[in-house]
Every structure is written in C-alpha cells, then in structure tokens.
Amino acid sequence: GESKSLREIAVESRALGEKARAGNLKLEDVTGGTFTITNLGMFGIDAFTPILNPGETGILGVGRIVEKPAVYRGEIAKRAMLWLSLTFDHRMLDGAPAAQFLQSVIELFNSAA
C-alpha cells in the first residue's frame, strides 16, 4: 500500500482544508482513505465516540482544548488539555498496536508543547 510521511500528510491536509474553505472540495478528495481525524472542539465538545467510515481502519476524534490545572514536571501548572478518542476496526488491528499509536500521538502533542 501507499505510505506517506507525517510531513506529507500535513501538507496534503492543509491543502484539502484550503479547498474545503474555498468550496472547491470534491468527493474524490475525501474518499478512499484508511484513517480519518475528526475534530468537534470548535463546537465546545470535550469527548465523543467517532464512528468508523466504511472501509476505514480507524478514526481519531479530537475534542476542544481547555486550560486545566495539571501536575507538570512535579508541580501544579495551568496546561492546555484535550480529549482524544480512537475508534478502530478490531478485525484489522489489535488493541495493543492501536494503544501504541495513540501513545505516539500523545507524545507528539507533548513534544510540541
């Protein structure tokens, strides 16, 4: 199958977002994928259960970002927090690799902070 780097995915995602905002998005631009990222944070939603699209292996739901007190480096600090909800097709993927994927996403968020 086709494999893309995170950078390639980010560039393509940004281009698709621009097409969507301009009203130029076509059905073929958003079908045929194996994974979806969906965000309901802009509607004030913290957490939700995203439903798999037909033919896809997984979908990652991203909730709103909220500042909350959290223990950070041994002290209580104000931190930007959000909920991630991963739904995956258990016929395609075991729970452990799915959890490792989600752990990698969390590490990327933490390294960007």
- Is 94 annotated in the active site? yes
- C-alpha neighbours within 13 Å on the C-beta side of residue 39: 6
Same structural domain for residues 75 and 45?
Answer: yes
Residues 13 and 67 in one domain: no
Are residues 46 and 75 both part of a single domain? yes
Q: Are residues 25 and 71 in the same domain?
A: no
Taking Cα atoms as reference points, which of 105, 100, 104 lies closest to residue 82? 105
Quote the pLDDT of residue 75. 95
Residues 73 and 21 both lie in one domain: no
In tens, the pLDDT along 60-96 reads 999 999 999 999 889 999 999 999 999 999 998 889 9
Q: Does residue 89 carry a catalytic annotation?
A: no
Question: Are the C-beta atoms of residues 50 and 36 closer than 8 Å to each other?
Answer: yes
Q: Which of 29, 46, 89, 94 is catalytic?
A: 94
Q: Are 44 and 91 part of one and the same domain?
A: yes
- Tracing tokens 């927090």 back to the chain, one arrives at 81
Task: Please tell me the pTM assigned to this model.
Answer: 0.76
From the candidates 29, 46, 89, 90, which is the catalytic residue?
90
Q: Show the domain range for 83.
A: 34-112
Please check whether residues 103 and 80 belong to one and the same domain. Answer: yes
Say if residue 56 is in the same domain as residue 99: yes
Comparing C-alpha atoms, which of 30, 95, 83, 18 is closest to residue 56? 30
Do both 68 and 83 map to the same domain?
A: yes
* Number of independent structural domains in the chain: 2
